Amino acid sequence: MRLQSGNEMPSYCHFSMRAHHSVKAIGAIFVAALVVCWMGFLVRQYRADSAFFISRVAYDWHDPRFASFHRLYSRIQVGMTRDELQQAIEQVYPASGRRKPPRLHVDKPTEIILFMENGGCEGIILALANGRIVSKHYSPD
């Protein structure tokens, strides 16, 4: 066995230090990729419907009434029928649940406007054609 001088490190220490640096580098790359993906997701959400995005950021995290209404908006899809819309409402607002379902402010063959019940002035505006939803818009006021 060779004796080491004060400045030399055993070879297993060099390997350990290199491995430690590699793990740190991989972790940093993973975090950076996660941040980029998350920012891309947020930008897509904002571009899809900026009013809905702003409402979610402002209210969703602390007010369960808004969280439920936002969940309903997210479940409504272009192409849904009135029956499918009613099913989505019943899923988010079950009869045995604590929250009242949104009220129909307008119910026409070409348009449905839902307003949040219990203190919210936010609305979901749906355009219909041939009994199906062709567009949706979130209105924060």
Please report the pLDDT score of residue 35 as a whole number.
Answer: 82
Residue with more model confidence, 71 or 21: 71
Question: What is the amino acid identity at position 50?
Answer: S
122 and 69 Cβ atoms separated by less than 8 Å: yes
**pLDDT-above-70 percentage for the chain:** 70
Summarised one tens digit per residue, pLDDT across range 81-138 is 999 999 999 999 998 888 888 988 889 999 999 998 765 678 899 999 999 999 999 8
Backbone φ and ψ for 27, nearest 5 degrees, come out as: -60, -45
Give the per-residue pLDDT at 5.
54
Rounded CA-CA distance 34/75 in Å is 26
Sign (positive or negative) of CA dihedral 120, 67, 40, 31: positive
Mean pLDDT over 61-69 rounds to: 77
Would you state the pLDDT for residue 7?
60
Angle at CA of residue 115, ends 114 and 119, nearest 5°? 165
1-37, pLDDT tens digit by residue?
455 555 665 555 666 667 677 778 888 888 888 888 7
The residue among 51, 100, 44, 49 whose CA lies nearest residue 78 is: 49
Confidence of residue 51 (pLDDT cuts 50, 70, 90): low
pLDDT on residue 94 = 92
